């Protein structure tokens, strides 16, 4: 019966590690904050689902458009993704290039000023972007659209007829690109400037030029940060309401034609434009489109996570 003595005494409480009051308070606060996020997220999801049930279960003919919620939301999803993808395609290379210029090419003083100016872009309210896009960018793009229709009309993107107001999907995408530029360039700048000197020196000592050093030691290190920044930007572009609502001329359904005046709307802009005049089932339908946007954004973020983690071994974090 000697084993009795050596048996771990499971019934007893495990010895509590000594922790200071401050430590416990902070642990409690941060845990609470983490839980709060989950509660809010769950609350939003529950609200969206509950409120959109009416529209989902309603007969197709009664839903706005007369063909059911799915055909109502389809063009909106397409428009949302198209505008966001245009924005991302323009803003990501530009943002990365700006970040590289600021961190590795520009003289110190210019770098600081430029960084400050880029950050300032983020402080401009989206309604201002909207009016700028409507009043300044759209008209100035009209000649380009006409030119594109004549010379690049064989591409589906420039099939035309070219818009005479310039309020096209491409204009909306470009406005969104400028809006998400500060997010992407700020995050890229941050990760690029943290690329370890150790590896930058390793590249230089092998006889790398500055650009080769960036390719070997900075970009691979910053890749996941850039993807993260791009996804944050994409999130903003997907959800941006006012600027798109002001700029985009909406009529019609799914089309890849970027320069005509008949464009699908985006989910967020459509909600903003339709909501004041809606009641009953219309409201439920709009909330359903909101639910779809919620799911899209969630999926985009999960995809980004997956992309970032796929080659975690090689990430440089170890």
Partner 1 sequence: MAKRIDVSDLDIFYGNFKAVEGVNVSIEPRSVTALIGPSGCGKSTFLRSLNRMHEVIPGARVEGKVVIDGQDLYGSDVDPVDVRRQIGMVFQRPNPFPTMSIYDNVVAGVRLNSKKMKKNDLDDLVESSLRGANLWNEVKDRLDRPGSGLSGGQQQRLCIARAIAVQPEVLLMDEPCSALDPISTLAIEDLMTELKDRFTIVIVTHNMQQAARVSEQTGFFNLNGVGQPGRLIEFNPTEKIFSNPDQKATEDYISGRFG
> Which residues contact partner 1 by CB under 8 A?
196, 198-209, 212, 216-217, 220-221, 223, 313-318
Calculate ∠ Cα 40-177-78, nearest 5°.
Answer: 70
For partner 1, the closer CB: 45 or 204: 204
Q: Can you name the residues that pair with 287 across neighbouring β-strands?
A: none
Q: Which residues pair with 250 in a beta bridge?
A: 263
| Helix ranges (DSSP H) in 123-253 | 126-132, 138-152, 169-193, 197-205, 210-213, 219-239, 242-247
Shortest separation between residue 221's beta carbon and partner 1, angstroms: 7
Any idea which residue has 């996941």 for tokens? 224
The answer to whether the CB of 176 falls within 8 A of the CB of 269 is no
Cβ(288)–Cβ(278) below 8 Å: no
* CB of residue 226 to partner 1, shortest distance in Å: 13
Cβ pair 301, 235 in contact under 8 A? yes
List the beta bridge partners of residue 84: none
Shortest Å distance, C-beta 220 to partner 1: 3
Residue 308 CB, shortest distance to partner 1, in Å, is 13
CB 128, min distance to partner 1, A? 39
CB of 196 to partner 1, least distance (A): 8
Nearer to partner 1, 45 or 202 (CB): 202
Between 22 and 207, whose beta carbon lies closer to partner 1?
207
Q: Dihedral sign, CA of 226, 232, 234, 236? A: negative
**For 160, left (φ over 0), alpha (ψ -120 to 50), or beta?**
left
Tokens at 160, concatenated:
């035309």
Q: Are 295 and 181 in contact (CB under 8 A)?
A: no
Upstream peptide bond of 161 is cis (omega within 30 degrees of 0): yes
**Min. distance of Cβ 191 from partner 1 in angstroms?**
13
DSSP 10-25: -SSPPPPPP--HHHHH
CB of 33 to partner 1, least distance (A): 32
* CA distance linking residue 221 with residue 196, whole number of Å: 8
């Amino acid at each position: 019966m000697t084993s009795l003595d050596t048996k771990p005494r499971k019934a007893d409480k495990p010895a509590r590690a000594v922790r200071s009051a401050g430590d416990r308070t902070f642990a409690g606060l941060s845990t609470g904050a983490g839980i709060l996020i989950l509660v809010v997220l769950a609350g939003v999801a529950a609200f969206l689902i509950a409120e959109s049930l009416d529209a989902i279960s309603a007969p197709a003919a009664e839903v706005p458009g007369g063909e059911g919620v799915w055909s109502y939301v389809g063009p909106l999803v397409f428009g949302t993704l198209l505008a966001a993808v245009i924005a991302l395609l323009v803003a990501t290379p530009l943002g990365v290039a700006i970040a590289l210029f600021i961190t590795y090419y520009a003289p110190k003083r210019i770098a600081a000023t430029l960084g400050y100016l880029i950050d300032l872009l983020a402080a401009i309210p989206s309604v201002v972007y909207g009016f700028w896009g409507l009043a300044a960018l759209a008209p100035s793009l009209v000649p380009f659209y006409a030119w594109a229709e004549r010379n690049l009309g064989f591409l589906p993107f420039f099939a035309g007829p070219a818009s005479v107001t310039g309020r096209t999907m491409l204009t909306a995408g470009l406005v969104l690109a400028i809006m998400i530029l500060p997010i992407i360039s700020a995050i890229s700048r941050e990760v690029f400037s943290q690329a370890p000197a150790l590896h930058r020196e390793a590249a230089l000592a092998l006889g790398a030029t500055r650009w080769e050093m960036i390719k070997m030691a900075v970009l691979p290190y910053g890749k996941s940060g850039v993807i993260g920044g791009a996804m944050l930007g994409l999130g903003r572009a997907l959800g941006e309401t006012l600027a798109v609502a002001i700029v985009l001329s909406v009529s019609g359904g799914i089309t890849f034609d970027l320069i005509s005046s008949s464009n699908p709307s985006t989910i967020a802009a459509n909600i903003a434009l339709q909501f004041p005049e809606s009641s009953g089932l219309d409201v439920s339908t709009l909330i359903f489109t909101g639910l779809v946007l919620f799911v899209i954004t969630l999926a985009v973020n999960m995809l980004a996570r997956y992309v970032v983690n796929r080659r975690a071994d090689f990430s440089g974090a170890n």
